[in-house]
């Protein structure tokens, strides 16, 4: 299904690029980070939506500039970081944990993605990194939230940011602050992104398994 979508139109290929946020790695045990503290069993869901553009650098060969776009990210709050520092944490999300939307077309990821959270002096940022090796495509999505949106608990396991709904402001330069998407497909393009982002945590959410892409009929989830 995905192969057919990708090869039938540039718009379907564009869907693969947007707002992605790369391999399930060995997790650091939460107990090692904070002994005696049990992780939450809830699932964090982050939903971003808005418009791509302007073009900050590159030629935009896939024609994403000006398209409406969105992303839904699901991450277990019991997940441990694969890497962390005093101000950042890197989480690896399985295939299917991120669903991308461009102009109303939904497509779940089919390979693992990285989610990197940084708590900086000016903003809290979340970066999603994805790659489709069969297409020669890589994507980096960077979202700027208000400073202090997350507590330091997010460095031990995924958790909600506050306030939940925030306005996203597009970056003005390719290397400057603000929300943006960088994709490499033959050449590299950086686009701004503006819109809103919200999140919530709920129990008993159905998360994709590590072997989600190998299950019969799993790709039929794509409409």
pTM (predicted TM-score): 0.75
Cα–Cα dist 223/219, whole Å: 9
> What confidence tens digit (pLDDT) does each residue in 124-139 have?
999 999 877 777 778 8
- State the CB neighbour count (10 A cutoff) for residue 68: 14
> What confidence tens digit (pLDDT) does each residue in 56-85 have?
999 999 899 999 998 889 999 999 999 999
CA 98 to chain centre: 6
Which letter does DSSP use for residue 152 in this model? G
Cα–Cα dist 99/107, whole Å: 5
The whole-number average pLDDT for the span 195-216 is 68
Which letter does DSSP use for residue 200 in this model? E
Of 18 and 120, more confident: 120
Torsion sign (Cα): 166, 167, 170, 172: negative
Q: Is residue 81 within 8 Å of residue 155, measured between CB atoms? A: yes
Cα–Cα dist 15/108, whole Å: 10
Q: Is 25 exposed, middle or buried (0-12, 13-18, 19+ CB in 10 A)?
A: middle
pLDDT of residue 19: 38
What per-residue string of b and e applies to 37-60 under the rule 16 or more CB within 10 Å gives b?
eebbebbbbbbbbbbbbebbebeb
* SS3 label, residue 134: helix
What residues does each domain of the chain span? 2-193
Backbone torsions φ then ψ of 207, nearest 5 degrees: -100, 150
Task: Report the DSSP beta bridge partners of residue 93.
Answer: 113
* SS3 label, residue 53: strand
Cα–Cα dist 190/151, whole Å: 30
> What confidence tens digit (pLDDT) does each residue in 151-199 have?
999 999 999 999 999 999 999 999 999 999 998 889 999 999 999 999 9
Task: Report the DSSP beta bridge partners of residue 153.
Answer: none
The secondary structure of 88-120 as a DSSP string is EEEEEE-TTSEEEEETTEEEE-SS-EEEEEEE-
Q: Cα–Cα–Cα angle for 71, 76, 81, nearest 5°?
A: 95
């Amino acid at each position: 299904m995905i192969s057919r979508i990708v090869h039938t139109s540039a718009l379907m290929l564009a869907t693969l690029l947007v707002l992605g946020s790369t391999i399930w790695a060995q997790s650091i045990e939460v107990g090692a980070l904070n002994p005696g503290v049990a992780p939450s069993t809830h699932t964090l869901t982050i939903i971003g939506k808005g418009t791509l553009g302007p073009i900050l650098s590159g030629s935009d060969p896939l024609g994403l500039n000006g398209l409406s776009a969105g992303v839904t990210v699901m991450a277990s709050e019991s997940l441990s970081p694969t890497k962390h520092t005093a101000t950042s944490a890197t989480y690896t999300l399985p295939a299917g944990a991120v669903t991308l939307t461009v102009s109303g077309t939904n497509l779940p990821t089919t390979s693992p993605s990285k989610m990197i959270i940084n708590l900086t002096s000016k903003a809290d940022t979340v970066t999603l990194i994805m790659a489709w090796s069969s297409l020669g495509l890589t994507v980096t999505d960077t979202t700027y939230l208000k400073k202090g949106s997350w507590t330091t608990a997010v460095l031990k396991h995924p958790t909600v940011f506050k306030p939940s709904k925030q306005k996203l402001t597009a970056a003005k330069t390719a290397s400057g602050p603000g929300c943006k998407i960088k994709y490499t497909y033959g050449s590299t393009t950086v686009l701004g992104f503006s819109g809103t982002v919200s999140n919530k945590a709920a129990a008993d959410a159905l998360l994709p398994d590590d072997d989600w892409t190998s299950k019969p009929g799993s790709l039929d989830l794509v409409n």
